[in-house]
Structure 1
Amino acid sequence: MKFTYLGHAAGYLETASERFLFDPFLTGNPKASIRADRIDPTYILVTHGHSDHVGDSVAISKRTGAPIITTFELSQWLEAQKAKVESLNHGGSQDFSFGRITITIAFHSSSVTEEGGRPLYLGEPAGIVLETEGRTIYHAGDTALFSDMRLIGDETPIDLALLPIGDRFTMGPKQAKKAVEFLRPKHVVPIHHGTFPALTGDPHEFVKLAKGTGAEIHVLQPGESMSFT
C-alpha cells in the first residue's frame, strides 16, 4: 500500500484495487505536487468544508466519476454542484466494495465563504477512518487535540495516521505528539504545515517530540511517498 503526500492536507492512497484522494486542495496550493487534472482517483474523501480541503473535489469528481465521501451537510452542498456524493455523519460507518468508512469527530469548523465574504456553515468537521485491504488509515482533518482519540485507536488499530501539526488553526507539534500517544498508530505522516506563513508547526520538532511513542514518523515533502504493509 502506497501513500503519496500531495501538500497541505492532501494525500493519495494507492491500494491493489483502488485510489483514494484525501482533501484535494491542489489548484491555488503553493505546495501542491500535482495538478488537479493529472490525478485519477476512484474515491475522494473530504473532511470538512474549508476551501483548503474541499479544493478541487467537485472538478475531479465530475471528470473521473469518483464519488466524494464526506459529512451530510457538506455532501448536500457538493451535490448541488452536480458532484457524485456519499454522505455519512459522526459515529456512522458504511461498507463499500473496498472496505469500510467511519466518520469521527474533529474539533475545528466547517464553512465556505460566499460572495460578499459571508460564511456558509456546512455542518461539523470530521476525521475519516478508512479500512481497506486489511489496513486502517486515519485522516484527522483539521482538529485540536481531543482525548477521545484514544477511542479511535481502541476501536480499530491504526496503520497510518495523517495528523495536522501546523498550529494556529489546528494542533501544533506538542499536541500532535499527544495525539500519537492516544491513537497508537504504526506510522504517522504530519500534514497541514508550511503551506502558508501562518502554519509554523515544524515537522522536525514533531519527530523529536514523538520519539519514544512507538510510531514511525515519515516527514514527506509534497510528491514524496511511503509504503506500508
Structure 2
Amino acid sequence: MQLRFLGHAAVWMSDGSIRLIVDPFLTGNPQAAARPEEIAADIVVVTHAHGDHWGDALTFCKRGALLVSNFEITNYAERRGAKRVCSLNTGGRYDFAGGWIKLVPAWHSSSFPDGTYGGMPTGVVISLGGKKIYHAGDTALLAEMEFIGKLGLEVALLPIGGTYTMDPEDALQALELLKPKMVVPIHYNTFPAIQQDPDAFIAAAERYGVEGKKLRPGEELTLG
C-alpha cells in the first residue's frame, strides 16, 4: 500500500491494483509534485468544490477515472464531460474490489471557482490494501471525529493551516478523538495565510502517542 503526498491536500494512493487520488489540485498549485499527465488514477475523490481541492478532477474524469463525491459535485462534473461518477452523500459508501470509500462529515463551505454551489463539504475514509485512511478535507474540529475514529484508522491526513481549517492546536484535539496510528499534516504553507510549523505539530502529536510523519510534496509512505 503506497501513499504519496502531492502537495497542499492532494494525495495519491495505490494497493498495486487500484490507483486513487484525493483532491487533485495540481495545476496552479505552487507545491505540486507532479503534473496531471504524470499521474495515473482509476478513481478521483473530491471532498468539496473549492478550487484548491476540485483542481484537476475533471481532467482525470475525462481520461476515464471514476469520480466519487457528493451529488452536486458529480452533477457539475457530468455537465462538463465526466462519464463515470458515483454520487454519495455524507455517510454514503462506495464499494469496489479490494476496498471502499465513505464520505464523512466536515465543517466548511463549498463552491466551485465559478460560484456554483458545491453541496455539503465532506471528509473521506478510504479502505485500501487492508488499511483505513482518513482524509479530513477542509474542516474545523468537530465532535463527529470520535465516531470516525471508531472505524480504526491507520493514517489521518489532517489540515493544520488554520484560517480556513483547523490549526495545529485543534488538530491535536482531533487526534484525541480519531486515535489514528499515524498523522500526516496537510493543507499548510501553500499560501501565506496558512503558514505553520509541521515539525512542531509532529513533535506535539507524538506526545499524544500518535506517530507523526511530515511528507514533502512527492514523498511516499509504504503501509503494511
Same fold (TM over 0.5): yes
User: How far 1:98 moved relative to its partner?
Assistant: 3.0
Taking the TM superposition and a 5 Å limit, the aligned residue runs for 1:111-190 are 111-114=111-114, 119-154=115-150, 156-190=151-185
Identity %: 46
CA contact (8 A) 1:174 1:209 kept: no
> Is the CA contact 1:166–1:202 (under 8 Å) kept in the aligned structure 2?
no
Q: Tell me the TM-score normalized by structure 2.
A: 0.96
Report deviation, 1:211: 2.2
> What is the TM-score normalised by the length of structure 1?
0.94
Instruction: Work out whether residues 61 and 67 of structure 1, in 8 Å CA contact, stay in contact via their aligned partners in 2.
Output: yes
Q: Tell me if the contact between 2:2 and 2:221 (Cα under 8 Å) persists in the aligned partners.
A: yes
Q: Give yes or no for the alignment of 1:31 onto 2:31.
A: yes
Deviations 1:148-198 (A, max 9, x none): 1001111x1001111100110000111111111110111111000011111
Alignment of structure 1 residues 1-229 onto 2, 5 Å: 1-63=1-63, 65-83=64-82, 84-114=84-114, 119-154=115-150, 156-229=151-224
- The one-letter code of the counterpart of 2:182 is H
Decide whether aligned partners of structure 1 residues 90 and 219 sit closer, same or farther in structure 2, where only a CA change above 3 A counts: same
Deviation of residue 205 (structure 1)?
2.0
Q: Any idea what SS the aligned residue of 1:104 has? A: strand
- Residue 102 of structure 1, CA deviation: 1.0
User: Equivalents in 1 of 2:153, 2:148: separation in Å?
Assistant: 9
Q: Distance in 2 between matches of 1:220 and 1:133?
A: 20
Q: State the Cα RMSD in Å.
A: 1.1
Kindly indicate whether the alpha-carbon contact (under 8 Å) linking 1:106 and 1:140 is maintained by their aligned counterparts in 2: yes
SS in 1 for 2:192: coil
Gaps of 5+ in 2: none
